A and B are shown apart, each in its own frame.
Chain A
Amino acid sequence: MNYTYTASFITTLLTCLYSAGCTTTPQISYQRDVHPIFVDKCIDCHTPPNGGGYKKTGLEMNSYETLMEGSIYGPVVVPGNSKTSPLNMLVEGRAGNLSLKLKNKHKPITDHEIKILHLWVEQGARNN
């Protein structure tokens, strides 16, 4: 009786642990998930030659290649490290009042979009 009880307890515990451990993180695609966010929220300003953000920083967000070139101040995406990526710092509100400015002037970026950008950078910021 005791053995049966213990065995069923262990099975239940293992099932719980397995299902918790197997919660998959979605694989983010630049083309499918990330680029549309930039088109909707960023490209207006970050397009040469007259975009305000482009003129100020040299950051062009039309393509993966130009995004990864960064701005005149350096890279904006640090693959695998969303904590120190200026892109993530900005949209997550971790870079002074700049994030507030983005929210006020442009279409606000949603929490879901912030999460997509976070995962994409953490997953290596690939051109997939």
Chain B
Amino acid sequence: MLMTTLLQLMALLLRQAESRHSILCTSMTRICALTALLLFNSISTAGVLEELSVIETNGEYSLRIVYVLDAPKDYVYDVITDYKHGYRINPAITEIEMLLSDRDDVIRVRNHSEHLIGPFRIKIDWVGDIVETGKDRIMVKTIPELSSFKSGFSTWEIRPQGARTRVLHESSMKPNFYVPPVIGDNIMKERMKNDTLAAFKRIECHAMITLALDMEHEPELLKKLLKEGKDCKSTHG
């Protein structure tokens, strides 16, 4: 939290410094920003998991997660709604396509992902309609006839909590692929939990990178700093 606040403060100072054309002020702020980035590197993601559960009823899996991410709300929102870069959040995705929708307020997305579960490779196709409302709520409806699911629905609530962001995500889905009873159910539930947790950590990581990018437009330096301590893609749950 301290780190997020520091980064936000630096971003604000930098903008003010640039507007005043003060070289000294800009330099000082940049030094502070880099210090903040170094801090960011040396501290692992500090999000707090408040709740995570997966239940299965009659073949339908329902997931609920409440996670307080250590990143500002707008940045978290931008990462979650950056659908064409979805593979950054879910590395199992091998294809993403933005489809045409017949409604202006609906974003239709298709993706294909491949999951290795034990000796089995499961290929999943998913097409969903996404509706964003008020910059803090997202609703996603799976289109079963174009997906590997009989049904699916999920919501995201993204609210600021001080300098952090509280995200409530609920989803339910009924797979249209074979899940072996008992063992398969348990593997599926564990997998959903782990993948969701990993995804949230990546969202936090990317939100922090975007924030850092906004402050310091020197990717080479940023890359060096970030590579030393962090790599969002290798973030595990």
> Which residues of A approach B to under 8 Å, CB–CB?
48-49, 54-58, 60, 69, 71-75, 83-84, 86, 89, 94-98
User: Is B94 in contact with chain A by the CB < 8 A criterion?
Assistant: yes
Contacts of A86 in B (CB 8 A): 87
Apart from A86-B87, A95-B95, A96-B85, list 7 A-B contacts with CB within 8 A: A72-B213, A72-B222, A72-B226, A73-B85, A74-B233, A84-B93, A97-B84
In the bound complex, how far is the Cα of B233 from the Cα of A96, in angstroms? 19
In the bound complex, how far is the Cα of B154 from the Cα of A114, in angstroms? 36
In the bound complex, how far is the Cα of B85 from the Cα of A57, in angstroms? 12
Return the contact of A94 from the options B88, B94, B223 (Cβ within 8 A): B94
Tell whether A95 pairs with B220 under 8 Å between CB atoms, given A69-B227, A72-B213, A72-B226. Answer: no
Question: Which of the four size classes fits the interface of chain B?
Answer: 20 to 34
Return the contact of B223 from the options A58, A96, A97, A98 (Cβ within 8 A): A58
Q: Is B98 touching A84 in the complex (CB atoms < 8 A)?
A: no
* Minimum distance in angstroms from A85 CB to a CB of chain B: 9
In the bound complex, how far is the Cα of B206 from the Cα of A54, in angstroms? 17
What per-residue 1/0 map shows which CB atoms of B91-112 lie under 8 Å from chain A?
1111111100000000000000
Return the contact of B88 from the options A49, A60, A73 (Cβ within 8 A): A73
Tell whether A74 pairs with B98 under 8 Å between CB atoms, given A58-B222, A95-B84, A96-B85. Answer: no
